[in-house]
Chains A and B, each alone.
Chain A
Amino acid sequence: AQSVTQLGSHVSVSEGALVLLRCNYSSSVPPYLFWYVQYPNQGLQLLLKYTTGATLVKGINGFEAEFKKSETSFHLTKPSAHMSDAAEYFCAVNNDYKLSFGAGTTVTVRA
């Protein structure tokens, strides 16, 4: 079965600094990969997804992720953090029509 591993359960960044969240996947078939964000007391919201085609995927709120098959990675980045980016972020991979989620990374943004 496909799975993902998120490196780092907590990330703290200064406002305006680069946000980098790491995700590695394990898959025996070409994976479909997703990043979701969860704000406090809310459900998960899709940031971006990779299915096929271009390996650099742009999402909402200025986030992007690059699919690197050679590194089995799908890291999420944002050039300049904003206070509103404080949330928990989940990487996920498909297993047929199911999603397997990573453990999540909580992002704190310092003023």
Chain B
Amino acid sequence: DAGVIQSPRHEVTEMGQEVTLRCKPISGHDYLFWYRQTMMRGLELLIYFNNNVPIDDSGMPEDRFSAKMPNASFSTLKIQPSEPRDSAVYFCASSSPGVIPDTQYFGPGTRLTVL
């Protein structure tokens, strides 16, 4: 398996622009997680999905952030409009179904820089 795939790996944009980050989870995994990593705040869970349905979006910082999962093999995280404080590395992770919380497999991340 190719693992979790994220694109783009790097994104540089200007303040006010729309940014879309993409994720393809591991086939068969029905949980998908979006994280943000910064030096100041560490790793933060933004939102997670189960069977394509958003379960908990309490970590989404504000209305400028939105996430969708239109099918089992694709998810997007959108920031509109972007701000310099959104600069961070964004990770997508997926895990397989199970009775207990299972291992989360992380993608390589998207490094976002907002100028």
Question: Which residues of A are at the interface with B, using a C-beta cutoff of 8 A?
Answer: 32, 34, 36, 41-46, 49, 51, 90, 94, 96-104
If over half of A's interface residues share one DSSP class (helix, strand or loop), that class is named, otherwise mixed; here it is strand
- Name the residue on A nearest B50 (C-beta): A97
- Name the residue on B nearest A104 (C-beta): B42
**A3 → B minimal CB distance (Å):** 12
- Asked if residues B109 and A97 are in contact (CB atoms below 8 Å), the reply is no
CB-defined contacts of A46 to chain B, threshold 8 Å: 103-105
> What are 29 A-B contacts defined by CB distance under 8 Å?
A36-B106, A42-B108, A42-B109, A43-B4, A43-B91, A43-B109, A44-B91, A44-B93, A44-B104, A44-B106, A46-B103, A46-B104, A46-B105, A49-B103, A51-B100, A90-B43, A94-B101, A96-B101, A97-B31, A97-B50, A97-B95, A98-B33, A98-B48, A98-B56, A99-B101, A99-B104, A100-B45, A101-B42, A102-B42
Residues of chain B at interface, number, CB under 8 A: 22
B107 at interface, CB cutoff 8 A: yes
